[in-house]
Amino acid sequence: LEVALGQPFIVDDRPGAGSVIGTDAAAKSAPDGYALLVMSNTHTVNETLVPNKPYALLRDFVPIAPVNYSDLVLVVHPAVAANNLAELLALAKAKPGKLNYASSGPGTPYHMAGELFKAMAGVDIVHVPYRGSSQARTDTIGGQVDMMFDAVTTMSEFAKAGKVRALATTGKVRSSALPNVPTMSEAGVPGYEAVIWLGIMAPKGTPPDIVRRLNAEITAIVGRPEVRDDWARQGAVAMKMNPEDFGRYIVDDIAKWERIVKISGAKPDQ
């Protein structure tokens, strides 16, 4: 974008409160096209998970463009007596509340993937939240927890090395990073889909011509063969939508995770 627009881009990373602090700062920025929000489905989950936050996505932002998505992969420690998803489901149903799964924290895509799995598969497994993916991953590999939904871009190498057993990926089609691993739908949970996606939004009031220009530039960048090829090697897939379609995608994602947050009883701190 710096090259395409002839403007410097500064990453203003403001961590805290599950992305709420940084998102609120973006919402309060001038709607002139010079302040953008890099967002993900963490933000759509937060619409329900964090009801008293100072902003609302659909009220305070306008959609610009999606960037990419990547699948998650459900892995188990090799000591878990399940060589495939069917065996894991049988084990979980035989021992309700005895198996557990790690996540990078409450309300994250990894946590919500686990809750969606519980709801759709009808199993009772216990959520073990961590402060970030690294420790959750370490303890899954070490056998302190039984399983984890993790980004295929990260966990695929551990699966290939035999440190964990990959049972299923979470997209509609098989992941390029783990082509021999079935999708959740193929493996026994029809209709299951949970991916990590990234997109760009801008403060409400950003002029439509700026929104269109940014959408065109971002779409062109993610469509470059070298970008798509690099992402494919990591298991990520470029996304292409106009602002209106991206807005509808966000609305649908909010509705999807609203149901799961309510079913699971998930809270920001647990």
150 within a domain of the structure (yes/no):
yes
Q: Are residues 107 and 180 in the same domain?
A: yes
CATH of the domain at 127: 3.40.190.10
* Beta-carbon contacts of residue 214 (< 8 Å; ≥ 6 apart): 33, 36, 64, 65, 200, 202
Of 187, 210, 242, which closes a domain? 187
Contact 232, 176 (CB under 8 A): yes
Q: Are residues 163 and 79 in the same domain?
A: yes
Alpha-carbon span 69 to 239, nearest angstrom: 7
Q: Are residues 81 and 143 in the same domain?
A: yes
Alpha-carbon span 171 to 162, nearest angstrom: 22
Give me 236's structure tokens: 């990520």
Rg (the chain; Cα; Å): 19
- Strand (E) or helix (H) holding 107: none
Q: Are residues 106 and 172 in the same domain?
A: yes
Neighbours of 219 (CB within 10 A): 18
What rounded mean pLDDT belongs to the chain? 93
Contact 46, 53 (CB under 8 A): yes
Cα–chain center distance at 17: 17
Q: Are residues 179 and 208 in the same domain?
A: no
Q: Confidence class of residue 91 from pLDDT cuts 50, 70 and 90?
A: very high
Contact 203, 27 (CB under 8 A): yes
Q: Are residues 76 and 181 in the same domain?
A: yes
Q: Residue 224 belongs to what domain range?
A: 2-69+195-264
CATH of the domain at 41: 3.40.190.150
Alpha-carbon span 106 to 85, nearest angstrom: 24
For residue range 25-80, what is the model confidence (pLDDT) as tens digits? 999 999 999 999 999 998 999 999 988 899 999 999 999 999 999 999 999 999 99
269 within a domain of the structure (yes/no):
no
Instruction: Supply the pTM of this predicted model.
Output: 0.87
Q: Confidence class of residue 131 from pLDDT cuts 50, 70 and 90?
A: confident
Of 164, 187, 210, which closes a domain? 187
114 within a domain of the structure (yes/no):
yes
* Beta-carbon contacts of residue 261 (< 8 Å; ≥ 6 apart): 45, 48, 49, 107, 112, 115
Q: Are residues 158 and 237 in the same domain?
A: no
Contact 34, 203 (CB under 8 A): no
Domain total of the chain: 2
Alpha-carbon span 183 to 74, nearest angstrom: 10
pLDDT score recorded for residue 15: 62
Contact 234, 153 (CB under 8 A): yes
Q: Are residues 88 and 165 in the same domain?
A: yes
- Phi-psi bin for 165: left (phi > 0), alpha (psi -120 to 50), beta? beta
Q: Are residues 255 and 238 in the same domain?
A: yes
pLDDT score recorded for residue 127: 96
270 within a domain of the structure (yes/no):
no
For residue range 204-262, what is the model confidence (pLDDT) as tens digits? 999 999 999 999 999 999 999 999 999 988 889 999 999 999 999 999 999 999 999 98
pLDDT higher than 60, residue 270 = no
Of 139, 157, 187, which closes a domain? 187
Alpha-carbon span 211 to 213, nearest angstrom: 6
Q: Are residues 98 and 8 in the same domain?
A: no
Q: Are residues 179 and 202 in the same domain?
A: no
